């Protein structure tokens, strides 16, 4: 398999470590698209600690160079701006894309652009489950309509640093849970793009951005990044709670997100897809 990777931040680096350490057979080629100021580090680490990930590697700094390497699939893990800049041309070129920054699709014109680009290129835009479970069931019963989906995202206070939540409370002094956002999944993903990918995933799999109710909570007692949601439909009713360990390098990100992307890669290269 020839894999493209957009980004060289925490998620990308963790994913590369898993690829290097767990694949039975190295990838045929791995091409990393990153910012120019990260290129030297990326090249060095691909040749060093991540050498087991692929037989051939390359680091590029523009999307056309990435496409010139003819990847079979590309994984985006670099944020909203990277989705806007790089994902449409990759899809138009006929290459499937897995995007981690699913919250970017709360931008309705961007979502439509990506759908159009995928249709034009006869490619697939793949949305991994990320940090939340039950997406397969939600997407399945959603086909019957009549969904009611309610989501609560709780994280330790410092996981909300660098977000609008800082202006609403003193995160460092919080001693009890504080619900600081209530609204739609679209509003949540726009206001908290680095924290609300789960809300966006639930919305896209289920009732849509406007009909998915979201609460965001800062909780000093949270055991990690906690995702809870309930679903009511004509076919089934269920609730789910997931306590994810946050990434050591970025408290806003759950480690399981990386493994969700790894699963998408394994599904592409393995004899059985689950």
- 147 and 126 part of one domain: no
pLDDT tens for residues 9-44? 999 999 999 999 999 999 999 999 999 999 999 999
Can you give the pLDDT at residue 270? Answer: 87
Residue 227 designated active-site = yes
Whole-angstrom Cα distance, residue 89 to residue 87?
6
- 159 and 115 part of one domain: no
Can you give the pLDDT at residue 249? Answer: 62
Can you give the pLDDT at residue 30? Answer: 98
Residue 250 lies in a domain: no
Can you give the pLDDT at residue 253? Answer: 65
Residue 64 lies in a domain: yes
Segments of the chain with pLDDT less than 50: none
Can you give the pLDDT at residue 95? Answer: 99
- 184 and 261 part of one domain: no
- 238 and 159 part of one domain: yes
- 121 and 155 part of one domain: no
Whole-angstrom Cα distance, residue 234 to residue 202?
18
Provide the domain limits for residue 224.
Answer: 135-244
- 175 and 199 part of one domain: yes
pLDDT tens for residues 69-88? 999 999 999 999 999 999 99
Can you give the pLDDT at residue 134? Answer: 94
- 143 and 207 part of one domain: yes
* Per annotation, catalytic residue among 80, 86, 213, 227: 227
- 123 and 14 part of one domain: yes
Of 105, 86, 89, nearest in space to 201 by CA: 105
What pTM value is reported for the model? 0.92
Can you give the pLDDT at residue 274? Answer: 84
pLDDT tens for residues 239-258? 999 998 776 666 666 788 99
As given in the structure block, the two tokens for residue 245 are 């360990």
- Strands across the sheet with 2-6, in order? 54-60, 27-33, 2-6, 73-76, 96-99, 125-126
Whole-angstrom Cα distance, residue 49 to residue 264?
22
- 102 and 206 part of one domain: no
Whole-angstrom Cα distance, residue 266 to residue 8?
20
Q: Could you give the C-alpha distances from 131 to 38, 142, 161, 251, in angstroms and in order?
A: 27, 20, 19, 13
Can you give the pLDDT at residue 174? Answer: 94
Neighbours of 238 (CB within 10 A): 13
Of 83, 78, 79, 66, nearest in space to 29 by CA: 66
Residue 195 · residue 159 · CB < 8 Å: yes
Can you give the pLDDT at residue 252? Answer: 61
- 121 and 146 part of one domain: no
- 221 and 192 part of one domain: yes
Helix (H) or strand (E) holding 92: helix 80-92
Number of domains in the chain: 2
């Amino acid at each position: 398999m020839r894999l493209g990777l957009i980004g060289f931040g925490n998620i990308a680096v963790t994913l590369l470590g898993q690829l290097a350490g767990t694949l039975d057979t190295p990838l045929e080629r791995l091409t990393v698209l990153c910012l120019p100021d990260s290129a030297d580090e990326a090249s060095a680490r691909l040749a060093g600690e991540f050498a087991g990930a692929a037989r051939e590697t390359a680091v590029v700094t523009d999307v056309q160079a990435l496409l010139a390497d003819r990847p079979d699939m590309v994984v985006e893990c670099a944020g909203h701006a990277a989705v806007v800049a790089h994902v449409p041309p990759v899809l138009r070129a006929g290459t499937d894309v897995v995007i981690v920054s699913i919250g970017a699709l709360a931008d309705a014109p961007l979502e439509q652009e990506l759908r159009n680009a995928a249709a034009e290129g006869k490619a697939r835009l793949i949305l991994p489950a990320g940090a939340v479970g039950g997406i397969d069931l939600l997407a399945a019963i959603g086909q019957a309509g009549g969904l009611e989906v309610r989501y609560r995202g709780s994280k330790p206070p410092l996981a909300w640093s660098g977000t609008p939540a800082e202006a609403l409370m003193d995160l460092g002094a919080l001693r009890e849970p504080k619900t600081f956002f209530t609204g739609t999944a679209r509003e949540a993903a726009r206001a908290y793009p680095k924290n609300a990918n789960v809300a966006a995933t639930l919305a896209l799999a289920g009732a849509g951005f406007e009909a998915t109710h979201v609460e965001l909570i800062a909780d000093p007692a949270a055991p990690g990044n906690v995702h809870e949601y309930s679903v009511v439909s004509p076919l089934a009713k269920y609730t789910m709670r997931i306590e994810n360990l946050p990434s050591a390098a970025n408290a806003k990100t759950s480690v399981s997100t990386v493994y969700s992307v790894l699963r998408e890669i394994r599904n592409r290269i393995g004899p059985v897809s689950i």
